[in-house]
Structure 1
Amino acid sequence: MKELDEIRNCLIEMKNISSLMIDLALSSVMYNSEEIAEEVYLLEEKVDELTLKVKKLALKAAKQLEDPESMLSVIEMANINEQISDSAYEIADIVLRDVEPHPIIRKIMHDVEEEIGRVTVHSGSILIGKKLKELKLPSKIGVRLIAIKRGNKYIYNPSSDEVIKEGDILIAVGAGIDKLRELSKAEEDEEGEELD
């Protein structure tokens, strides 16, 4: 049934988005980053859209099933993912409302070793046109891409064959976020910057 395939794809995307939102929301507080907090806001809107879509598809599918009540668990799963995204949104909202977190919150977050960053790939960057497997970012600069935002779409856990494009927003974790920022700029600004 077509609806069930669509529901499955929506739920997978919701799971990926809500997981990413938690990481980004905590990072936005840790680094007091409005830019990352705003990304959480955008993702929360996407989860709301997906939740509504899943509910509509589930109601449509229920009409064709012998056991329509089986769709209740699908709706419940969508609701749970939406609650997770709402919680991430509320965490990020601390930054956007300019609420100063208690020192113990920052202490807990700084105990987490991995930094999360959001990096835009600019025209002329040496990253453009290269596959992730060519760049070897984890071993060369110590970052792992968890998502790429391309226009309004997200590529979660990008494959090693994914090619970096101008304008991509790289969401990465690791100690080399600053180095990734350098590499994402135009070559003339990099003064011959190389990956190794």
Structure 2
Amino acid sequence: MKELEEIKDCLIEMKNLSSLMVDLALSSVMYNSEEIAEEVYLLEEKIDELTLKVKKLALRAAKNLDDPESMLSVIEMATINEQISDSAYEIADIVLRDVEPHPIIRKIMHDVEEEIGRVKVHAGSILIGQTLKQLKLPSKIGVRLIAIKRGNRYIYNPSSDETIKEGDVLIAVGAGIDKLRELSNEKSEEEEELE
């Protein structure tokens, strides 16, 4: 049944999105980054769209099933993922509302070993045209890409065959985020102001 396949795809995307949102939300607070917090806001809107889509598909599918009540668990799963995304949004909203987190919150987050960053690939970057397999980012600079934002589309857990393009936004975890910024030809705000 076509609806069931679409539901499965939507739920997988929701799971990946809500997990990414939690990582980004915590990072936005840790680094007091409005940019990362705004990314969480955009993802939350996407989750809302997916939740509505899953509910509509589940209702359509229920009409053709001998046991229509079985679709209740699908709707419940979509609702739970939406609640996770809402919670991530509330965490990121601390930054967007310019609320100063208690020092203990930053202390807890700095004790987490993996840093997460959002890095845009600019013209002239040596990453452009390279596959993740060729780049070997985890072993060479100590970062792992958890998603690539290309235009309005997200590629989650990108495969080793994924090729980096100019304008891609790389969402990565690891100790080498600053090195990734260098390789991406990303300039600091100070450098951009001098130009």
Report the TM-score, using the length of structure 2 for normalisation.
Answer: 0.94
Alignment of 1:50-61 (within 5 A): 50-61=50-61
Q: Deviations over 1:35-92 (max 9, x none)?
A: 0000000000000000000000000000010110000000000000000000000000
Deviation at 1:124, TM superposition (A): 1.6
Match of 2:63 in 1: 63
SS at match of 1:144: strand
Q: Flag as ranges the 4+ runs of structure 1 deviating above 6 A.
A: none
Do residues 150 (structure 1) and 150 (structure 2) align? yes
Match of 1:94 in 2: 94
Alignment of 1:46-195 (within 5 A): 46-185=46-185
Query: Which amino acid letter does the alignment assign opposite residue 18 of structure 2?
Result: S
Deviation at 1:185, TM superposition (A): 1.0
Query: Aligned-residue CA RMSD in angstroms?
Result: 0.7
Query: Which amino acid letter does the alignment assign opposite residue 73 of structure 1?
Result: S
Match of 2:191 in 1: none
Distance 1:36 1:182 in 2: 19
Query: Which amino acid letter does the alignment assign opposite residue 75 of structure 1?
Result: I
Deviation at 1:101, TM superposition (A): 0.4
Query: Which amino acid letter does the alignment assign opposite residue 132 of structure 1?
Result: L
Query: Which amino acid letter does the alignment assign opposite residue 60 of structure 1?
Result: R
Distance 2:104 2:132 in 1: 37
Distance 2:107 2:176 in 1: 21
Deviation at 1:160, TM superposition (A): 0.5
Distance 2:15 2:96 in 1: 24
Deviation at 1:123, TM superposition (A): 1.2
SS at match of 1:146: strand
Query: Which amino acid letter does the alignment assign opposite residue 172 of structure 1?
Result: A
Match of 2:19 in 1: 19
Report the TM-score, using the length of structure 1 for normalisation.
Answer: 0.94
Distance 1:68 1:108 in 2: 45
Distance 2:38 2:184 in 1: 21
- Give the count of matched residue pairs: 186
| Structure 1, gaps ≥5 residues long | 187-196
Query: Which amino acid letter does the alignment assign opposite residue 114 of structure 2?
Result: E
SS at match of 1:41: helix
